[in-house]
Amino acid sequence: DAKTTQPPSMDCAEGRAANLPCNHSTISGNEYVYWYRQIHSQGPQYIIHGLKNNETNEMASLIITEDRKSSTLILPHATLRDTAVYYCIVRVHSDSNYQLIWGAGTKLIIKP
Amino acid sequence: SQTIHQWPATLVQPVGSPLSLECTVEGTSNPNLYWYRQAAGRGLQLLFYSVGIGQISSEVPQNLSASRPQDRQFILSSKKLLLSDSGFYLCAWTLDRSSYEQYFGPGTRLTVT
């Protein structure tokens, strides 16, 4: 079962910041939050991940609340090419490996 | 640079027929390999993962099986397909079990009729 909850869809105007929320209220202390995105009919693409601190890279910023029960992915200046399904994922430790537990994601539509 | 290939890109198979999907990785050695399935409008479901040749872990009981005959080759198979096997099958790799990023292939869209 997915450990994250996301809104099914969101719209954002081109050039504006897109803020995608995610709830993960049952996350454990050593479980990371990951974000991937999937453009239609392609393989998912890694965006960013974090544990406790806020993170930023060339694609996005990840803001994690102090209690770690929710996070927000921020695309600072959304373009039409950012239209995709965005997945907020919790990485759990299972046996000798780590697993990404995927939910249904948020379909983000960037409008001109 | 590393590249991951999957084939075929699309496949239409009748119920009861066998299945073989292949995934190969270039540009790296001893990768961790993964097979996922994605139903329409859903997230990814992990089916199998492998940490080395001949080492397969199954996450979901089903009529599918996986094999890793070579270091950079991962095969997904079935002896008899079911309608419920339809979906988008994705292969992915990581450098090791603690790697934070999984790299995905282009996927195979399977329709069982």
- Strands A106-111 and A9-13 come out as parallel
In this predicted structure, what is the pLDDT of residue B22?
A: 96
Contacts of A9 (CB under 8 A, 6+ apart): A106, A107, A108, A109
- Whether the predicted pLDDT of B108 surpasses 90: yes
CB contact under 8 A, A41 and B88: yes
Are B51 and A41 in contact (CB < 8 Å)?
A: no
Residue B104 touches chain A, beta carbons under 8 Å? yes
A103 vs B contacts (CB less than 8 Å): 43
When pLDDT is cut at 50, 70 and 90, the band that residue B91 belongs to is very high
Query: How far is B63 from B28, CA to CA, in rounded Å?
Result: 30
Q: Which two tokens stand for residue B17?
A: 């027929």
With an 8 Å Cβ cutoff, are B44 and A2 in contact? no
* Average pLDDT of every residue of chain B: 91
For the cut 70, the answer to whether the pLDDT of residue A1 exceeds it is: no
Token pair 């996922």 in the structure block, residue = B36
Closest chain A C-alpha to B56 CA, distance in angstroms: 12
Q: What is the pLDDT of residues A85-94, one digit of tens each?
A: 999 998 887 6
Structural contact between residues A37 and A44, judged by C-beta atoms closer than 8 angstroms:
yes
B 25-44 residues inside an 8 A Cβ radius of A: 32, 41-44
Reply yes or no on whether the pLDDT at B2 is more than 90: no
- Look at residue A28 and tell me whether its pLDDT is greater than 90: no
Does residue B109 come out as left (phi exceeding 0), alpha (psi in the -120 to 50 range) or beta? beta
Select from B6, B44, B60, B95 the residue whose CB has the most chain A CBs within 10 Å, as the one to mutate to test that interface.
B44
What count of CB pairs under 8 Å joins A to B?
A: 52
Q: Is residue A96's pLDDT more than 70?
A: no
- Cα separation, A98 vs B57, in Å, equals 12
Q: What's the pLDDT score for residue B98?
A: 67
Q: Report pLDDT digits (tens) over B29-81.
A: 899 999 999 998 888 999 999 989 999 988 876 789 999 999 999 999 999 99
Mean pLDDT of B82-107: 89
pLDDT digit string (tens) for A33-79? 999 999 988 999 999 999 998 999 999 999 999 999 999 999 999 99
Lowest mean pLDDT among B13-22, B34-43, B80-89, B92-101: B92-101
A63 contacts chain B (CB < 8 A) = no
Q: Do B104 and A104 touch (CB under 8 A)?
A: no
Residue A100 confidence (pLDDT) above 90: no
Q: What is the pLDDT of residue B59?
A: 81
Which runs of E-coded beta strand occur in chain A? 9-13, 18-23, 32-38, 45-50, 55-56, 61-64, 70-75, 84-94, 97-101, 106-111
**Segment of A28-32, B47-51, B87-91 carrying the highest mean pLDDT:** B87-91
Q: Any chain B CB within 8 A of the CB of A92?
A: no
Nearest CB among A99, A103, A104 relative to B46 is that of: A99
Identify which has the larger pLDDT, A1 or A5.
A5
